[in-house]
């Protein structure tokens, strides 16, 4: 067996160019399969990350324009919900009691954007009115001070939590920013807040590094009640809830949607919605999987073409070495010896191609993952499976030529010139 | 050792192009004999040799090798006979080009399933016997004709066969080298008591053999002792 392998490697070395060209088919097939799988994994991981950033356990609640009988919206009229159409704090409190599985309830209210300035130093801030649960739901990481508290919300205090970028830009360091009064110039007014905390800014995976570091806009969190002070509405159009771990998400979403819509039964213009990203994530994942599989199948065809190349070259090799086969038979080689020799050669050819293909595929996959912007991941099973598969190709496509060689009549083979 | 009765070999049998190569051969060769087979080209010498060597099958007739009827054996059993009982030496050497001299000698032992260390030891010993110890790791392309034939003889002896079949082993060599090769065969016969069949065109070499069988048109036309048996070669 080992003898046969060594012999086959020798004959591959004797025909370097030919062996390489034959291997090329296998190399292209294997490397494209590996690269497609790796890039597919990376894309899935990247999409999952984006969903995770949004929060796959989050359930978004809110109100939307009611569709008419035909199921379409009247696009000509855009309406703004009246305060009575909106969800009030009392309604939220009742909902919380009706649904004890609600773990967190996060509110956020856009309160405009502006420039925080001290002399010539500035930082772009978008002001968000939030409640304490917002930080937990959106995974805001504090580096110094404290986050918006219940008391801040109750008393509608003029406090703000800014990003470390803002603190750095305006005050030079996080520590010197704490306790400072910050003035944010929006297009309508100058708003003043006391900085009570600094959070760590993390770049969203969805955004590239499009804006320069200096003009980067980061959020400034203020109590939701303070944000409402300038607004004509005191109720909410949307909120996010997170159920306790172990809650069946889709069921929870359906129940809470039914509950809210009951409240809007009599409202002609508005209705409530509740949705989660889980089913979207699942359908996106399954779509990505199908796509990856389809591309991998095309790459698989390349692999089969490569296998046929191996078979072709083995047939040529058998014809070329007919006389040698005759000599071997005269020296006492049984059919099985000859068959094994040629199968081993085909396997050596395709397995070598397979290994080179894996190296190339991993390299391509890394480049691809880098472009997609997700970490490169490849399971050892994929690699092992590919090596085994390429060896299988060798056996499968090598067997017919090998058997042809083995079945040669000794004297005919020996006389062949 | 070798028993042939009424052996025929025909090609394209039962067609208008039928060719009879062996036309009723009766031949009996005992153990340890040294037989030269002579005859013109096309007289059937090589076909006879191939049938004796279990490489080819007669169209009709009986052939027993060491008491075994060859016609009844399967492909693998024939391979085993060629491997264990017979050593071939060819006119064109037929060494495996990509293998060293040593590996070439080891080849029949690989097919016989001999252990690697034992194989190497025996191959080395045989090449030393052929005075080829200094060129063991050379490839066939790096050897002269006489050296190639000595490697081939070593290879034929690898599994200690009963019979050596040599098909014009001196045919591709100049007369001086041919004589050296002939001397090797005579020595093997003398020292190892092997049965040797030796096809040659050279009457001078044939007459050195104890028995000379002459073929013509597929028939044995003469079977007598060599006139110079046991004599010396002149250089």
Helix, strand or coil, per DSSP, at residue B38:
strand
Structure tokens of B15?
A: 């067609």
Q: Which residues of A touch B98 (CB under 8 A)?
A: 10-11, 14
Q: What is the pLDDT of residue B30?
A: 94
Q: Which residues pair with B65 in a beta bridge?
A: B2, B68
- Tell me the C-alpha distance between A146 and A138, whole Å: 16
Helix, strand or coil, per DSSP, at residue B214:
strand
Measure CB to CB from residue A14 to each of B94, B98, B111 and give the nearest one: B98
- Helix A2-14 × helix A16-54 angle, to 10°: 100
- Tell me the C-alpha distance between A214 and A139, whole Å: 24
* Structural fold of domain B2-225: Rossmann fold (3.40.50)
Could you tell me if A127 and A220 are in contact, meaning their C-beta atoms sit under 8 angstroms apart? yes
Task: Check CB contact of B83 with chain A, cutoff 8 Å.
Answer: yes
More confident residue, A68 or A201: A201
**Length of chain B, please?**
235
Structure tokens of A315?
A: 């047939």
Task: Check CB contact of B91 with chain A, cutoff 8 Å.
Answer: no
Core vs surface per residue A227-238: b (16+ CB within 10 A) or e = bbeeeeeebbbe
Helix, strand or coil, per DSSP, at residue B221:
strand
Q: Is the pLDDT of residue A102 over 60?
A: yes
pLDDT tens digits, one per residue of A255-280: 988 998 888 888 888 888 888 888 78
Task: Check CB contact of B98 with chain A, cutoff 8 Å.
Answer: yes
Q: What is the pLDDT of residue A70?
A: 65
HEC secondary structure over chain A: CHHHHHHHHHHHHHCHHHHHHHHHHHHHHHHHHHHHHHHHHHHHHHHHHHHHHHCCCCEEEEEEECCCCCCCCCCCCCCCCCHHHCECHHHHHHHHHHCCCEEEEECEEEEEEEEEEECCEEEEEEEEEECHHHHHHCCCEEEEECCCCHHHHHHCCCEEEEEHHHHHHHHCCHHHHCCCEEEEEECCCEEEEEEEEEEECCCCCCCCCCCCHHHCEEEEEEEHHHHHCCCCCCCECEEEEEECCCCCHHHHHHHHHHHHHHHCCCCCCEEEEEEECHHHHHHHHHHHHHHHHHHHHHHHHHHHHHHHHHHHHHHHHHHHCHHHHHHHHHCCCCHHHHHHHHHHHHHHHHHHHHHHHHHHHHHHHHHHHHHHCCCCCCCHHHHHHHHHHHHHHHHHHHHHHHHHHHCCCHHHHHHCC
Measure CB to CB from residue B79 to each of A10, A334, A411 and give the nearest one: A334
Task: Check CB contact of B55 with chain A, cutoff 8 Å.
Answer: yes
More confident residue, A52 or A228: A228
Measure CB to CB from residue A3 to each of B56, B84, B110 and give the nearest one: B110
pLDDT tens digits, one per residue of A19-40: 899 899 899 988 988 888 888 8
* Interface mutation vs chain A, best among B79, B89, B100, B119, most A CBs within 10 Å: B79
Are B88 and A330 a contacting pair at CB < 8 A?
Answer: yes
Q: What is the pLDDT of residue A331?
A: 94
- Nearest chain A CA: its distance from B232 CA (Å): 32
- Tell me the C-alpha distance between A222 and A227, whole Å: 7
- Tell me the C-alpha distance between B143 and B39, whole Å: 30
pLDDT tens digits, one per residue of A106-154: 988 888 888 898 888 889 999 999 999 988 888 888 999 999 999 998 8
Instruction: Specify the DSSP class assigned to residue B80.
Output: H
Q: What is the pLDDT of residue A211?
A: 56
Structure tokens of A122?
A: 């500035």
Interface of B with A in 147-166 (CB under 8 A): 155, 159
Averaged pLDDT for residues A59-73? 76
Measure CB to CB from residue B111 to each of A10, A332, A414 and give the nearest one: A332
Q: Is the pLDDT of residue A333 over 70?
A: yes
Are B80 and A331 a contacting pair at CB < 8 A?
Answer: no
Q: What is the pLDDT of residue A247?
A: 83
Per-residue pLDDT of chain B (235 residues; tens, 9 = 90+): 899 999 999 998 888 888 999 999 999 999 999 999 999 988 999 999 999 999 999 999 999 998 899 989 999 999 999 999 999 999 999 999 888 999 999 999 999 999 999 999 999 999 999 999 999 999 999 999 999 999 999 999 999 999 999 999 998 899 889 999 999 999 999 898 899 999 998 888 899 899 999 999 999 999 998 888 877 776 5
Instruction: Specify the DSSP class assigned to residue B32.
Output: T
Measure CB to CB from residue B96 to each of A327, A335, A410 and give the nearest one: A327
Structure tokens of B12?
A: 């394209």
Task: Check CB contact of A3 with chain B, cutoff 8 Å.
Answer: yes
Q: ipTM, 2 decimals?
A: 0.94
Q: What is the pLDDT of residue B152?
A: 96
- Nearest chain A CA: its distance from B34 CA (Å): 21
pLDDT tens digits, one per residue of A350-390: 888 999 999 999 999 889 888 877 778 787 888 888 888 88
Instruction: Write out the H or E segment, with its range, that includes residue B155.
Output: helix B145-156
Task: Check CB contact of B94 with chain A, cutoff 8 Å.
Answer: yes
Are A414 and B107 a contacting pair at CB < 8 A?
Answer: no
**Domain coordinates in residue numbering, chain B:** 2-225
Interface of B with A in 168-197 (CB under 8 A): none
Helix, strand or coil, per DSSP, at residue B64:
strand
Q: Is the pLDDT of residue A85 over 70?
A: yes
- Nearest chain B CA: its distance from A352 CA (Å): 20
Structure tokens of B189?
A: 């016969």
Q: How confident is the model at residue A204 (pLDDT cuts 50, 70, 90)?
A: low
Are B79 and A333 a contacting pair at CB < 8 A?
Answer: yes
Are B76 and A332 a contacting pair at CB < 8 A?
Answer: no
Q: What is the pLDDT of residue A389?
A: 86
Q: Which residues of B touch A10 (CB under 8 A)?
A: 98-99
Q: How far is CA A348 from CA A355, B1, B20, B74, B97, in A?
A: 10, 44, 46, 31, 20
Measure CB to CB from residue B98 to each of A11, A334, A336 and give the nearest one: A11
Query: Taking CA atoms, what residue in A is nearest to B50?
Result: A411
* Interface mutation vs chain A, best among B58, B110, B113, B163, most A CBs within 10 Å: B110
Structure tokens of A170?
A: 């305006």
Are A3 and B88 a contacting pair at CB < 8 A?
Answer: no
Query: Taking CA atoms, what residue in A is nearest to B112?
Result: A332
Task: Check CB contact of A335 with chain B, cutoff 8 Å.
Answer: yes
Residue with tokens 């032992």: B109
Measure CB to CB from residue A333 to each of B88, B99, B111 and give the nearest one: B111
- Nearest chain B CA: its distance from A345 CA (Å): 14
Torsion of CA B170, B175, B177, B182, to 10 degrees: 50
- Nearest chain A CA: its distance from B96 CA (Å): 7
Quote the percentage of chain A above a pLDDT of 70.
94
Are B84 and A332 a contacting pair at CB < 8 A?
Answer: yes
């Amino acid at each position: 067996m080992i003898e046969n392998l060594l012999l086959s490697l020798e004959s591959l070395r004797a025909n370097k160019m030919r062996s390489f060209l034959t291997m090329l088919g296998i190399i292209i097939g294997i490397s494209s399969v590996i690269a497609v799988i790796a890039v597919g994994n990376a894309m899935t991981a990247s999409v999952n990350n984006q969903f995770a950033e949004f929060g796959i356990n989050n359930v978004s609640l809110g109100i939307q324009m009611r569709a008419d009988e035909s199921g379409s919206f009247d696009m000509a009229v855009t309406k703004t919900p009246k305060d009575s159409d909106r969800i009030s704090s009392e309604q939220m409190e009742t909902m919380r009691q009706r649904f004890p599985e609600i773990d967190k309830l996060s509110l956020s209210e856009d309160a405009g954007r502006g420039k925080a300035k001290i002399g010539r130093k500035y930082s772009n801030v978008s002001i968000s009115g939030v409640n304490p649960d917002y930080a937990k739901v959106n995974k805001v990481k504090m580096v110094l001070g404290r986050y918006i508290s219940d008391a801040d919300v109750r008393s509608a205090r003029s406090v703000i939590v800014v990003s470390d970028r803002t603190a750095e830009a305006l005050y030079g360091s996080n520590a010197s920013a704490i306790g400072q009064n910050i003035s944010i110039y929006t297009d309508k007014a100058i708003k003043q807040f006391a900085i009570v905390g600094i959070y760590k800014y993390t770049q969203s995976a969805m955004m590239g590094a499009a804006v320069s570091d200096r003009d980067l806009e980061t959020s400034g969190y203020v109590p939701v009640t303070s944000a409402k002070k300038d607004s004509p509405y005191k109720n909410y159009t949307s909120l996010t809830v997170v159920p306790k771990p172990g809650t069946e998400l889709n069921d929870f979403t359906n129940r809470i949607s039914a509950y809210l819509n009951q409240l809007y039964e009599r409202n002609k213009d508005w209705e409530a919605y509740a949705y989660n990203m889980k089913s979207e994530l699942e359908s996106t994942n399954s779509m990505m999987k199908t796509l990856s599989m389809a591309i991998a199948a095309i790459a698989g065809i390349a692999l089969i073409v490569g296998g046929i190349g191996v078979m072709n070259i083995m047939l040529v090799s058998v014809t070329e070495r007919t006389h040698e086969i005759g000599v071997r038979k005269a020296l006492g080689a049984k059919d099985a010896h000859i068959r094994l020799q040629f199968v081993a050669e085909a396997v050596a050819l395709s397995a070598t191609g397979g290994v080179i293909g894996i190296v190339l595929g991993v390299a391509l996959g890394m480049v691809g993952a880098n472009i997609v912007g997700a970490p490169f991941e490849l399971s050892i099973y994929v690699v092992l499976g590919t090596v085994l598969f390429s060896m299988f190709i060798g056996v499968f496509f090598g067997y017919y030529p090998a058997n042809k060689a083995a079945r040669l009549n000794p004297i005919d083979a020996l006389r062949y010139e | 050792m070798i028993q042939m009765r009424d052996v025929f070999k025909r090609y394209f049998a039962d067609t208008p192009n039928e060719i009879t190569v062996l036309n009723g051969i009766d031949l009996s060769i005992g153990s340890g004999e040294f037989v030269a087979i002579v005859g013109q080209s096309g007289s059937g010498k090589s076909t006879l040799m191939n049938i004796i060597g279990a490489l080819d099958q007669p169209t009709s007739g009986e052939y027993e090798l060491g008491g075994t009827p060859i016609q009844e054996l399967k492909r693998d059993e024939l391979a085993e006979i060629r491997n264990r009982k017979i050593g071939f030496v060819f006119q064109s050497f037929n060494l495996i080009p990509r293998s060293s001299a040593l590996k070439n000698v080891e080849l029949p032992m690989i097919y016989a399933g001999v252990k690697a260390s034992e194989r190497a030891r025996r191959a080395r010993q045989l090449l030393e016997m052929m005075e080829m110890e200094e060129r063991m790791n050379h490839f066939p392309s790096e050897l002269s004709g006489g050296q190639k034939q000595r490697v081939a003889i070593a290879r034929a002896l690898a599994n200690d066969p009963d019979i050596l079949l040599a098909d014009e082993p001196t045919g591709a060599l100049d007369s001086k080298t041919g004589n050296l090769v002939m001397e090797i065969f005579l020595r093997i016969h003398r020292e190892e008591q092997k049965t040797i069949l030796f096809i040659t065109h050279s009457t001078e070499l044939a007459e050195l053999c104890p028995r000379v069988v002459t073929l013509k048109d597929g028939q044995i036309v003469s079977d007598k002792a060599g006139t110079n048996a046991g004599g010396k070669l002149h250089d």
